[in-house]
Structure 1
Amino acid sequence: METPDEKPAARSEGPPPGTGIVPTAKKIVRDIAAVPPRSVHPALVPGVSVEETGRSYRTDPLVFGIAVALTVAFIAWGVFAGDNLAGTTRTVLDAVVEYTGFFFTTIATVILVFMLFIGFSRYGRIPLGRDDEEPEFSMFSWISMLFAAGMGIGLVFWGAAEPLTFFENPPPGTVEANTLEAMHTAQAQVLYHWGPQAWAFYALVGGAIAYGAFRRGRTPLISSIFAPLLGEHRTTGPLGRTIDVFSIIVTLFGTAASLGLGALQIGHGVEIVTGIGELGNGILIAAIAVLTACFIASAVSGVSKGIRALSNINAVAALILAFFVFFVGPTLLILNVIPSVAVQFLGDLPTMIARSASQGDEAQAFLSTWTIFYWAWWISWSPFVGMFIAKISRGRSLRQFVSVVIVVPSAISLVWFSIFGTTAIQQQMDGAGLNVDPPEEVLFGVLGNLPFPLVTSILLILLISIFFITGADSASLVMGTLSQQGRPEPARWVTVIWGVLVGVIAAVLLISGEEGSGLRSLQNVTIIAALPFAVIMAFMMVAFMKDLRRDPLILRDRYARMAVRHSVMAGLEEYGDDFALVPVEYDHSEDDLAWIDEDSVDDTLAEVYEAATEAIDIIPVETDADPGASLDGLAEETAESAGAAGEAPGERPRSGERPLD
Structure 2
Amino acid sequence: MNKITSVFWATLSIAVFAVVWGAIAPSNLESITGSIQAYLSVHFGWYYLLIVTGFVVFCLYMIISPYGKIKLGKKSDTPDYSYPTWFAMLFSAGMGIGLVFWGAAEPVYFFGTDPPTEEAGTPEAMGEAMQFVYFHWGVHAWGIYAIVALVLAYFKFRRGAPALISATLEPLFGQSMKGPWGKVVDVIAVFATIVGVATTLGFGAAQINGGLTYLTGMEESFTLQLIIIGVVTVLFMISAYTGLSKGIKYLSNTNMVLALTLLVLMLIIGPTLMIMNIFTDTIGAYLKNLPSMSFRLAPESEDARTWINDWTVFYWAWWIAWSPFVGIFIARVSKGRTIREFLSGVLLVPSIVGFLWFSAFGSSAIDLQQNEVADIAGLATEQALFGVFDQYPLGLIMSIIAMTLIGTFFITSADSATFVLGMQTTNGSLTPPTMVKFVWGLAQSSMAAVLLYTGGLQALQNALISAAFPFSFIMILMVVSLYKALRADRASLEKDNI
Which of the five TM-score ranges fits, normalised by the shorter chain? Answer: over 0.9
What is the CA-CA distance between 1:526 and the residue it aligns to? 1.9
- 1:555 and 2:496 equivalent? no
Q: Where does residue 421 of structure 1 map in the other structure?
A: 362
Counting only pairs closer than 5 Å after superposition, residues 286-297 of structure 1 correspond to structure 2 as: 286-297=227-238
Residues 226-261 of structure 1, C-alpha deviations (whole Å, 9 max, x = no match): 011111x22211011111111111111111111011
> Which residue identity is paired with 2:122?
T
Mapped contact 2:275–2:359 kept (Cα < 8 A) = yes
Mapped contact 1:82–1:518 kept (Cα < 8 A) = no
- 1:76 and 2:20 equivalent? yes
Q: Where does residue 4 of structure 2 map in the other structure?
A: 59
CA distance in 2, matches of 1:247, 1:534: 10
Which protein is richer in helix relative to its size?
Answer: 2
What TM-score do you get using the length of structure 1 for normalisation? 0.73
What is the CA-CA distance between 1:297 and the residue it aligns to? 1.3
CA distance in 2, matches of 1:451, 1:294: 31
Q: Where does residue 401 of structure 1 map in the other structure?
A: 342
What is the CA-CA distance between 1:531 and the residue it aligns to? 1.6
> Which residue identity is paired with 2:3?
R
Q: Where does residue 196 of structure 1 map in the other structure?
A: 139
Mapped contact 1:338–1:415 kept (Cα < 8 A) = yes
> Which residue identity is paired with 2:370?
M
Give the 3 Å change call, closer, same or farther, for CA 133–436 of structure 1 in structure 2: farther
Give the 3 Å change call, closer, same or farther, for CA 171–446 of structure 1 in structure 2: closer
Task: Give 2:253's match in structure 1, choosing from 312, 325, 338.
Answer: 312
- 1:247 and 2:192 equivalent? no
Mapped contact 1:86–1:518 kept (Cα < 8 A) = no
- 1:445 and 2:390 equivalent? no
Q: Where does residue 525 of structure 1 map in the other structure?
A: 463
Q: Where does residue 413 of structure 2 map in the other structure?
A: 471
CA distance in 2, matches of 1:119, 1:540: 18
CA distance in 1, matches of 2:375, 2:456: 30
What is the CA-CA distance between 1:519 and the residue it aligns to? 4.8
Name the SS of the counterpart of 1:103 in structure 2.
helix
CA distance in 2, matches of 1:536, 1:81: 31
Residues 367-419 of structure 1, C-alpha deviations (whole Å, 9 max, x = no match): 11101111111111110100000011111111011001011111011100000
Mapped contact 1:226–1:540 kept (Cα < 8 A) = yes
Q: Where does residue 565 of structure 1 map in the other structure?
A: none
CA distance in 2, matches of 1:281, 1:351: 41
Q: Where does residue 462 of structure 1 map in the other structure?
A: 404
What is the CA-CA distance between 1:270 and the residue it aligns to? 2.3
Structure with the greater alpha carbon radius of gyration: 1
Residues 137-175 of structure 1, C-alpha deviations (whole Å, 9 max, x = no match): 0111100010111111001000000000111246444x3
CA distance in 2, matches of 1:223, 1:437: 44
- 1:162 and 2:98 equivalent? no
Identity %: 42
> Which residue identity is paired with 1:393?
S
Larger displacement relative to structure 2 (344-353 or 380-389): 344-353
> Which residue identity is paired with 1:200?
G
CA distance in 1, matches of 2:177, 2:349: 33
Residues 608-661 of structure 1, C-alpha deviations (whole Å, 9 max, x = no match): xxxxxxxxxxxxxxxxxxxxxxxxxxxxxxxxxxxxxxxxxxxxxxxxxxxxxx
- 1:491 and 2:427 equivalent? no
> Which residue identity is paired with 1:108?
V
Name the SS of the counterpart of 1:137 in structure 2.
coil
What is the CA-CA distance between 1:494 and the residue it aligns to? 0.1
Q: Where does residue 358 of structure 1 map in the other structure?
A: 299
CA distance in 2, matches of 1:227, 1:168: 50
CA distance in 2, matches of 1:284, 1:363: 34
CA distance in 2, matches of 1:299, 1:539: 32
> Which residue identity is paired with 1:313?
T
CA distance in 1, matches of 2:115, 2:366: 16
Name the SS of the counterpart of 1:488 in structure 2.
coil
CA distance in 1, matches of 2:405, 2:460: 24
Q: Where does residue 318 of structure 2 map in the other structure?
A: 377
> Which residue identity is paired with 1:191?
Y
CA distance in 2, matches of 1:477, 1:111: 26
Task: Give 2:177's match in structure 1, choosing from 235, 259, 262.
Answer: 235
CA distance in 2, matches of 1:112, 1:558: 26
Counting only pairs closer than 5 Å after superposition, residues 207-356 of structure 1 correspond to structure 2 as: 207-231=150-174, 233-273=175-215, 275-356=216-297
Mapped contact 1:78–1:518 kept (Cα < 8 A) = no
> Which residue identity is paired with 1:257?
T
Q: Where does residue 88 of structure 1 map in the other structure?
A: 32
CA distance in 1, matches of 2:183, 2:21: 25
Residues 407-436 of structure 1, C-alpha deviations (whole Å, 9 max, x = no match): 111101110000000000001111122234
Mapped contact 2:115–2:125 kept (Cα < 8 A) = no
Number of equivalences: 496
CA distance in 2, matches of 1:104, 1:176: 27
Name the SS of the counterpart of 1:435 in structure 2.
helix
CA distance in 1, matches of 2:101, 2:238: 25
CA distance in 1, matches of 2:195, 2:222: 21
Q: Where does residue 536 of structure 1 map in the other structure?
A: 474
> Which residue identity is paired with 1:81?
A
Indicate the RMSD between aligned Cα atoms, in angstroms.
1.6
CA distance in 1, matches of 2:410, 2:483: 35
Mapped contact 2:50–2:295 kept (Cα < 8 A) = no
CA distance in 1, matches of 2:167, 2:243: 23
What is the CA-CA distance between 1:272 and the residue it aligns to? 3.8
Mapped contact 1:161–1:436 kept (Cα < 8 A) = no
CA distance in 2, matches of 1:499, 1:244: 18
CA distance in 2, matches of 1:543, 1:228: 6
Give the 3 Å change call, closer, same or farther, for CA 302–257 of structure 1 in structure 2: same
Name the SS of the counterpart of 1:369 in structure 2.
helix
CA distance in 2, matches of 1:264, 1:350: 34
> Which residue identity is paired with 2:77?
E
Name the SS of the counterpart of 2:96 in structure 1.
helix
> Which residue identity is paired with 1:556?
S
> Which residue identity is paired with 2:218?
G
> Which residue identity is paired with 1:395?
G
> Which residue identity is paired with 2:492?
R
CA distance in 2, matches of 1:522, 1:172: 23
Give the 3 Å change call, closer, same or farther, for CA 508–97 of structure 1 in structure 2: closer
